[in-house]
Structure 1
């Protein structure tokens, strides 16, 4: 019997150790996952011990039972055994109840922190307009998959991982890791997948495969090449981990950035405390607290943490018994990661509870230090704006992406892309937040801007255009000119002798004179200023040679 007990407990112990290795759970009992683990383990060990202690196993089956192995319990478990079995679960349930909003509603409400509240005005530009993210996650994956297909030797060995939007060397990009397509591909390429794909978030043509930067450690990989398992087995079995994101440092070296967190109340209210960086090539691990993370790390706060904190603030604004829903609000049904002044923010609208088609403003939360900016204004929700934009091109059956807010002539404006059934960008749209019947669309951003400004003027609005919104003009001599088809229309690129460091992008629809323009011609170009960029999108074109000839 002693040998049976030893074998049985050895098997249970091997199972538990195997579970710890392969599932890499959080073993800290102050987290729900860790507490559940200990409850299950204690229950299994105590129950098996009690069955062996207070029951009898026989190798001979009772007559006519038809079984080769039988267990007979001679008497009930003593009370202290039942208490020992129940104690872990009582602790778990007590922690759940004690962590609930019923006892901590003020902490639930205040976890996000005090927001800097500002009225939307002419000097508010929440998003860097020179870095408008026109490429969303789905399109980034499609473009990355197309780039991967160009390398036939790789397509059968790897699959695309989850893309992460970030800013690297001044460019807004999606970084897409490459994962092994199966265990046999992993066994034959233990050094990792040979690179990753970078997709520009602002230019659908800018897609690059980066070779030579091996990604050895991957999510959902095998043995210690799995990111979660590697970190846990490197001394972080008792740490709260969340949000495994693939990011690049300033040199292009890939890392896995994993947020660490602790709960503020029992099993509830997770709060980010810092990050763990795992070098995706070498496996080197570094930990940083929230106040000293490297500058290239864009995100410390997990997105779902922030959304939950926004919703908690709105839900419990006047306590847990606010049955009239006074002043309650919630986040929009979607959100985006945007950049302004080289800082990464989570952007989402705010909607009053019970008013599905109106917004009361929007909020931007810094994804590192969690500082909050809240802009107050009334208008249409993102979904209403998306429907309005789709309605203007309903004959084309385009689908709008989740919008973000920009400032156009002191008017808060939703900006979004319109995509076809294949998920490719066909047009751009701008919709007024305060009056979502005012819509502008176009095949280029300047075209959409012109159409939108005209729509505002048609209803008697006079946009107060800032310097960056106004169409500037330049007159000069054409030094070079070339045309290129961008997938939807022909685009001309001009360099003027008077501004050799600037390229002007002119859509063919702006003027029939473009096709006849040659180097040496005097031209006038109108454009919307794109600060800090070497390219400017034209909004008007005139070949002065033809005007003079006339």
Structure 2
């Protein structure tokens, strides 16, 4: 049966449109995949239109010419975007890197918060919580792919939506959506994860993998057809309402080189309403704008290509590398922004050491460089393991903290079931000074005692003071005891951990002490007057 060209073109177009909608395709000249897909469709239609049974040579000539044109465009685009030609452009994508001192970054002018609870421990806590509710656990699982670490009302938490436990349950509840998400408290000094299931007044109908038009990718692609869409993250605003944060991308070098975030699309998970925000207009509550792999890629290019592509491969003068494998970087909250941090070192230096640390904001992309030699995160982990071999505990990825004025890696120690059983501290600059114990108080006391008994100098910004106590208050923070002191000599309110000195409960107004302080923290009590 003979099929006319018009019918054939209609059939091909229908197939193209169906696949386009089903796959959630978007079209942007910077997105190579979409250009290849669109070029293939154009060539197919052109082939049908140009096909001439009486003159195949003319058809082959015209069709080959078009194919050659597309091939040349892709080759030239690839060359224009190559690192070999554009090394310094790649190196500059990260922007200006601000140099910071440890005493400034971890001083009283900034709030630095860490989490003792890693993703696996948070997930374990969430799964245990959902298991307590039989009607929920029989219907839903936790979407652990979208288990986001964010700041919620100034505290570090992880949030994840629920998902139906099977496709059949999902289809049978198509119009009901997903009425739950889980929030796990991981910051504020929590030494164990605390999970809470949040029940929404109206369910989430738009999410990854949802059927039909509720599928997040299809929904966003339909409404933003010519945006270069990246990945997505699950977040909640300060009222606890759920959203999907979808990044739109651009290329900074040539046509297809140096991927960067152009804007974000904030999608209401309940109503599906979406709005595109430029980077400078991102809502205050949004934390996850720049994906971690992208930030690490920018850093890698900066430290390897700053002096040219040939130098990065041959002489390697000034070439540095960063740690970017899973477990070699971690996250910390600085002034309510989530930063990924990782080690920096010359390419010739052993992987166990660093010459500094790089912090990059997942919200703004801002980069901070701490030029302080020390050890890598993996070395700190290995040091902890050496102290607990007989217990088979596993350390979580370390986080850098200020402990008594010393740059210190702090980590939790988990047993084989994933339950946190202890803690460890390792001096960032001297890994021989490390301590393990069952509580933070115990570990900190032992750790600071190691420094007090050594010849290691305290940080330069520490100072000795003589103070007269006017008022002293005891405060419990996550099971740990701290004392806050008001003094005659200044308006500063000093804080000190009970682990520093067992005599603290016996101090009272008018007592005079000679102390060593770092900012507003007392790091050593030298003597009583």
TM-score by length of 1: 0.79
- For residue 252 of structure 2, what is the aligned residue in structure 1? 264
2:340 to 346, 349, 364: 346
Query: Which residue of structure 1 lines up, in the alignment, with residue 316 of structure 2?
Result: 325
Structure 1 counterpart of 2:517: none
Equivalent residue, structure 2, for 1:374: 369
Partner of 2:39: 39
Name the structure 2 match of 1:211. Answer: 199
Matches within 5 A, 1:294-333: 294-322=283-311, 323-332=314-323, 333=325
d(CA) in 2 for partners of 1:8 and 1:410? 75
Aligned to 2:434: 439
Q: Does 1:82 align with 2:87?
A: no
Change (3 A) 1:538 1:443: farther
Q: Is the 8 A contact 2:30 2:228 kept in 1?
A: no
* Distance in 1, Cα, partners of 2:334 & 2:120: 23
Partners of 1:47 and 1:85 within 8 A in 2:
no
Report the Cα distance in structure 1 between the residues aligned to 2:161 and 2:459, rounded to whole angstroms.
Answer: 44
Deviation digits for residues 300-345 of structure 1 (CA, Å, limit 9, x no counterpart): 2222221110000011021101112222122213333321222232
Counterparts of 1:459-478 in structure 2, within 5 Å, are 459-461=454-456, 463=458
Aligned to 2:25: 25
Shift of 1:255: 0.4
- Counterpart of 2:220 (choices 225, 231, 236) is 231
Contact 1:127 1:338 in 2 (8 A): no
Count of residues in correspondence between the two structures: 479
SS in 2 for 1:272: strand
- Find 1:111's aligned residue among 77, 86, 93: 93
Q: Please show how residues 486-505 of structure 1 align to structure 2 within 5 Å.
A: 502-503=475-476
Gaps of 5+ in 2: 486-494, 507-529
What is the match of residue 414 of structure 2? 419
Deviations 1:431-474 (A, max 9, x none): 1111212211122222221122123334433545999xx9x9x9
After TM superposition, give the deviation of residue 121 of structure 1 in Å. Answer: 3.7
Gap runs ≥5 in structure 1: 56-72, 477-497, 508-525, 546-550
Change (3 A) 1:404 1:54: farther
SS of the equivalent of 1:116 reads strand
- By how many angstroms is 1:126 displaced? 10
> Residue 4 of structure 1: CA displacement?
4.8
Distance 1:101 1:464 in 2: 41
Distance across 2 between alignment mates of 1:455 and 1:158: 49
Are 1:120 and 2:107 matched, yes or no? no
Residues 505, 537 of structure 1: 8 Å contact kept: no
The CA distance in 1 between the partners of 2:90 and 2:32, in whole Å, is: 18
CA distance in 1, matches of 2:110, 2:159: 20
* 1:200 aligned residue: 185
Contact 1:158 / 1:180 at 8 angstroms: preserved in 2? yes
Q: Which moved more, 1:454-463 or 1:339-348?
A: 454-463
Q: For residue 143 of structure 1, give the secondary structure of its aligned residue in structure 2.
A: helix
Structure-2 separation of matches of 1:227 and 1:504 = 41
Alignment of 1:109-258 (within 5 A): 109-121=91-103, 124-125=106-107, 131-161=113-143, 162-189=146-173, 190-202=175-187, 203=190, 204-213=192-201, 214-234=203-223, 236-258=224-246
Report the CA distance between 1:295 and its aligned residue.
0.8
- How far residue 212 of structure 1 moved from its aligned partner, in angstroms, is 2.1
What SS does the aligned partner of 2:426 have? strand
Aligned-residue RMSD, C-alpha: 3.3
Could you say which residue in structure 2 is the equivalent of 1:409? 404
C-alpha contact (below 8 Å) 1:259/1:273 kept by paired residues: yes
2-structure distance, mates of 1:9, 1:344: 51
Question: Given that residues 414 and 421 in structure 2 are in contact (C-alpha distance below 8 angstroms), is that contact kept between their aligned partners in structure 1?
Answer: yes
State how far apart, in whole Å, the 2-side matches of 1:111 and 1:544 are: 54
Q: What SS does the aligned partner of 1:395 have?
A: helix
Provide the rounded CA distance (Å) in 2 between the counterparts of 1:120 and 1:544.
31
Relative to 1, partners in 2 of residues 1:541 and 1:270: Cα closer, same or farther, differing over 3 Å?
same
In structure 2, distance between residues paired with 1:45 and 1:529: 77
Q: Considering only CA atoms, is the larger Rg found in Structure 1 or Structure 2?
A: 1
CA shift in 2, pair 1:445/1:90, >3 Å: same
